[in-house]
Structure 1
Amino acid sequence: MTNPRAVSLRPLEKSDLSYLRDLANDPEVRENVVGWDWPLSDAGQERWFAESVGQSTTKRFIIESETGQSVGLTGFWDIDWRNRSAMTAIKLGGNSEARGRGYGVAAIQAIMEFGFMDAGFNRLHATIFASNSRSIAAYVLKSGWTEEGRLRQHVWRNGVYEDLVQIGMLRSEFIEKIRN
């Protein structure tokens, strides 16, 4: 696997809160995120940040472009340290540079490398709207994840129920892909 773009992942800082608020409120991002919430205020973003500090089951990172610009958010959620698994996801946005330029694939590959090679996870998984062809392409077609199942009509969005696609990657599969 080769990264089409170079990205780096860094921990969240308080100085990222306005960027993260704008990312969470971006209509295109909101449309493709499985979870749902009310639009986020500055106070809500600060409360979210304060509550997330020190959590052992969630670790979030800012995705930075090769120029140091914030282009998104990724991380691990629902970390199961005993079984060495975690959910992962990416949100790209906040500027015109972020989408459609290979940062998603690069971020997926970076979080896999960190998760499998540094954090010691055995399995990463994600859930994507069946209609989110960009994310399915980035994870499954370009990064080698496997579709593991489908939750039919599972989420109410834009006046209809949407299917969710469950995908996953094992450490052994990741190792095999980087060897080839």
Structure 2
Amino acid sequence: MIRGEKICLRPLRRSDLDLLHEHANDPEFEGEYNNFGLKRDRHLLAAFEEDGLLNSQFANLVVTTPDDQFLGIVSYHPARYGPEASIAYNIGISLAPEQRGKGYGGEAQKLLADYLFKTYPIMRVEASTDVTNIAEQRALAEAGFTREATVRKAQWRGGAWHDLLIYSKLRGE
């Protein structure tokens, strides 16, 4: 378990899957910025059985309060910039609607970036967010990320193309 001031990050448990599947097709839970279409029922089960959804290629961690109340999920996957040694990790977050705006997102992303730097020989952790997602932009800044660039019309979501902002945090920052 990774402990912060207000939150913790921990591996998924089998008991978390029912809650995640319950919310998988809930537009309110996914929110405006994480709704990428319908997911099939029990879509996480096979991957969980294989490795607990925790490996170097794609991982999910549960965001909880110190007393283990579910707040949301953070994830990471590699982003390659050339040969094998040129790997960064791209992170994402999805908080339950009632948990947004409480400062959990910034702390969760800071803890996740710190964990990745301690665990993998990487120089860079990055995240992207919609140009209109002001809350996530603030959370990334609070987590110590630097805004780098706008990627024009990079993401198809909700029937339209959206510009994304790229943020990064380098080892030692």
> Does TM-score exceed 0.5, indicating one fold?
yes
1:163 shift after superposition = 0.5
Query: What is the alpha-carbon root mean square deviation over aligned residues?
Result: 2.6
1:49 correspondence with 2:52:
no
1:92 correspondence with 2:92:
no
After superposition, the C-alpha distances for 1:10-58 in whole angstroms (9 at most, x for unaligned) are: 111221111222343231424212x7242442x3232343466574312
Q: Give 1:20's aligned amino acid.
A: L
1:128 shift after superposition = 0.9
Question: TM-score with structure 1 length normalisation?
Answer: 0.78
Contact 1:24–1:30 (CA<8 Å) still a contact in 2?
no
1:5 shift after superposition = 4.8
5 Å-filtered alignment, 1:147-166, equals: 147-166=147-166
| Equivalence for 1:137 | 138
Structure 1: gaps of 5 or more residues: 174-180
| Equivalence for 1:65 | 65
User: More helix per residue: 1 or 2?
Assistant: 1
5 Å-filtered alignment, 1:1-180, equals: 5-28=5-28, 29-33=30-34, 36-41=36-41, 43-50=42-49, 53=52, 55-78=55-78, 82-93=85-96, 96=98, 98-140=99-141, 142-173=142-173
1:120 shift after superposition = 4.2
| Equivalence for 1:176 | none
Q: Give 2:94's aligned amino acid.
A: K
Quote the sequence identity (%): 27
Contact 1:65–1:103 (CA<8 Å) still a contact in 2?
no
- The alpha-carbon distance between structure 1 residues 15 and 4, as it changes in their structure 2 partners (threshold 3 A), is closer
- The alpha-carbon distance between structure 1 residues 5 and 25, as it changes in their structure 2 partners (threshold 3 A), is farther
C-alpha separation in 1, matches of 2:37 and 2:85: 30
Contact 1:86–1:123 (CA<8 Å) still a contact in 2?
yes
C-alpha separation in 2, matches of 1:157 and 1:113: 30
Structure 2: gaps of 5 or more residues: none
C-alpha separation in 1, matches of 2:44 and 2:170: 33
Question: TM-score with structure 2 length normalisation?
Answer: 0.81
- The alpha-carbon distance between structure 1 residues 52 and 27, as it changes in their structure 2 partners (threshold 3 A), is farther
C-alpha separation in 1, matches of 2:121 and 2:40: 33
